[in-house]
Structure 1
Amino acid sequence: MKQTMLMEKYPIYTLEIGKDEIAHKTMDAILDYFLAKIDAHPIAQRIALFDHYAHTKALGDKGEINPEILDARDVVFCFGQKLPNPQMLAIRPRSIGVAEMADKFVISFLETPMPHANEAMEAWVKGLVAV
C-alpha cells in the first residue's frame, strides 16, 4: 500500500493489485467484499455505491475517462462517531474507490483524521490480496 499526495493536497492510500493476485476477481465481488466489511464494523455505516464510470460516460462530451480505465466505482460509508461542530460534515462521508484496468484493480481512499478508520480501511484493502 502506497501513501501519496494527490494533486499536491490530498493524502491518499493506493494499492494496485494484479488480477492474478486478487482474491475477488470481479468488480461486483470486490464491492460486495467492502460492503460486508462495512456492515460487520461496529461503527461504520454503509451509505451507497456510486458508479463513477457510468456517471462520467453519461456526460458525453463533457465527461472524460482515461481509456485505460474499464470500470470505476466508489463504496460510500461513514465512520463518524462524533459531531463536535458543523464543519465536520465537510470531511464526511468516506469512500473507497475501485478502478478496473486491463490487468489490475487500483483501490484508493483518502486519509482520515481518525487513525482507527485509516487502520480499518487499510486492513480491508490489504485483505483483497490473495494469500
Structure 2
Amino acid sequence: MKQTLLQEKYPVFILELHRDEMRFDSVDAICDYFRQCIEAHRCGQFIGVFDHYAHTCSLPEGSVGEGIRAAKNVLFCFGLALPSPRVLAVRPRSIGVAETDQGFVITFMEAPMPIANAAMEDWAESLRIPKSGVDHAVTNTKTIDA
C-alpha cells in the first residue's frame, strides 16, 4: 500500500494488485467484500455503490483512461462523532475499486481519523491472497474511538 498526494493536494492510499495476487476476480466481488467489512464494523454504515465507469461512459464528453475496464466507489461512513458542520466536507468515505488490464487498483482518501485509515488499509490488504495459505478475511474490524 502506497500513500501519495493526488494532484499535489489530496492524500490518498493506493493498493495495486495483479490478478494472481487477488482473492477476488471482479470489481463487484471486491465491492461486496468491502460492504461486508463495513457492515461488520461497529461504527460503519454502508451507503451504496456508485458505478463511476458507467456514469462517465454515459456522458457525451465522458473520458475513461486507457486500460480501465471497470471503476466503482463503495460509499460509507465511520461517523463516530459530529463535532461541527465542517466535518461534513470530508464525509462520507469512499473506497475506489478499479479493474485495469493488469489487475485491480484500490484507492481511498486519507481520513481525519487515523483508526479509520487503519481499518481501510487492513480491509484493502486483506484482498491479497495470503502467502501462508491462511485466510484472514472479512471481519477485520478495528474499533474507532476518536
Distance in 2 (alpha carbons) for counterparts of 1:50 and 1:26 = 15
Alignment of 1:29 with 2:29, yes or no, is yes
Distance in 2 (alpha carbons) for counterparts of 1:69 and 1:130 = 22
Gapped runs of 5+ residues in structure 1? none
Q: Equivalent residue for 1:111?
A: 110
Aligned residues: 130
Question: Structure 1 residue 103: deviation in Å?
Answer: 2.0
One-letter amino acid matched to 1:25: D
Distance in 2 (alpha carbons) for counterparts of 1:2 and 1:67 = 22
One-letter amino acid matched to 1:37: C
Q: 120-129 vs 82-91, which deviates more? A: 82-91
One-letter amino acid matched to 1:14: I
Q: Equivalent residue for 2:73?
A: 74
State the secondary structure of the residue aligned to 2:3.
Answer: strand
Identity %: 53
- Residues 67-117 of structure 1: CA distance to partner in whole angstroms, max 9, x if unpaired? 210000000000011111111111100000001011210000000110110
- Residues 17-51 of structure 1: CA distance to partner in whole angstroms, max 9, x if unpaired? 00011011111111110000000000010001000
One-letter amino acid matched to 1:46: F
Distance in 2 (alpha carbons) for counterparts of 1:78 and 1:100 = 24
Distance in 1 (alpha carbons) for counterparts of 2:87 and 2:28 = 31
State the secondary structure of the residue aligned to 1:46.
Answer: strand
State the secondary structure of the residue aligned to 1:15.
Answer: strand
Q: When the two structures are superposed, what TM-score results if normalisation uses the length of structure 2? A: 0.87
Gapped runs of 5+ residues in structure 2? 131-146
Q: When the two structures are superposed, what TM-score results if normalisation uses the length of structure 1? A: 0.97
